[in-house]
Homo-oligomer: A and B are copies of this chain.
Amino acid sequence: MPKTTLRVELLAHTPEPLSLIYAAFRQCYHSGFVADMWPRLLSGEIAREKQAQFVASVMESGHASPVEHVSFTFAAEGVSRALTHQLVRHRIASYSQQSQRYVDGSSFDYVLPPAIARNPQALARFEQCMAGIGDAYRDIKALLEADGRAGAKSNEDARFVLPQAAETRIVLTMNCRSLLNFFEHRCCMRAQWEIRAMADAMLDLCRGVLPELFAVAGAKCERLGYCPEGERFTCGRYPLRQS
């Protein structure tokens, strides 16, 4: 039952994302049919630079619906249930998460907050607590199984002792518009450290695939040039907006 480490993998994304966003946006203003233009977008006959400039101007104008046509699917492990409970609050997305009912938690791994890791006394206290929870889980599971509640039935109730720190794994898909919103909220220094680390990792992966869109993505301040969080919550990286 050791501590675990964040790992985010990009499983899949819509192919030719730049051209697809370009095509979708062009269809709104073009008298022809983008399906006829599509081969010339893929071949580069319509230059990628032109496509990229167009997408950049879309981003600038704030009219973002065409970017919805492109989705990214990630798999994450080494994340806590505390993180995923926040994550799944983002409703324009799809999730498939490891079940604490169907997967036995007897040897659960856990996420260790850095501030606790840095304080030896807190770390000892945390590790002791995790070990105690593991013991309780296994004991309760065995007692429930002795009552005739096997497998999922005993996991389902024994799981009530598992900590927020318990590791979970999740597959998630978001379209680019939802991703941009996710990054605005979760790459912000106000976001909880764990989900911020995950958001940063996702943003890196997105930038690798579609730099034309994600280069300027991130916390709201990156795009606005000022911090909209107010005096009480600002991290100070950008100036507050002058009223």
Contacts and interface: CB of A to CB of B under 8 A. Distances in A.
A23 B129 contact: no
Copies of this protein in the assembly total 4
Contacts of A159: 82, 164
A128 B137 CA distance: 12
A171 B27 contact: yes
A140 B130 CA distance: 13
Contacts of A68: 94, 173
Question: Chain A interface mostly helix, strand, loop or mixed?
Answer: mixed
Interface residues of A, number: 101
A189 interface: no
B192 A101 contact: yes
Given A27-B98, A96-B25, A111 B34 contact: no
A219 interface: no
Task: Give the 7 A-B residue pairs with the shortest CB-CB distance, closest first.
Answer: A68-B94, A129-B136, A160-B165, A24-B96, A9-B35, A113-B157, A91-B91
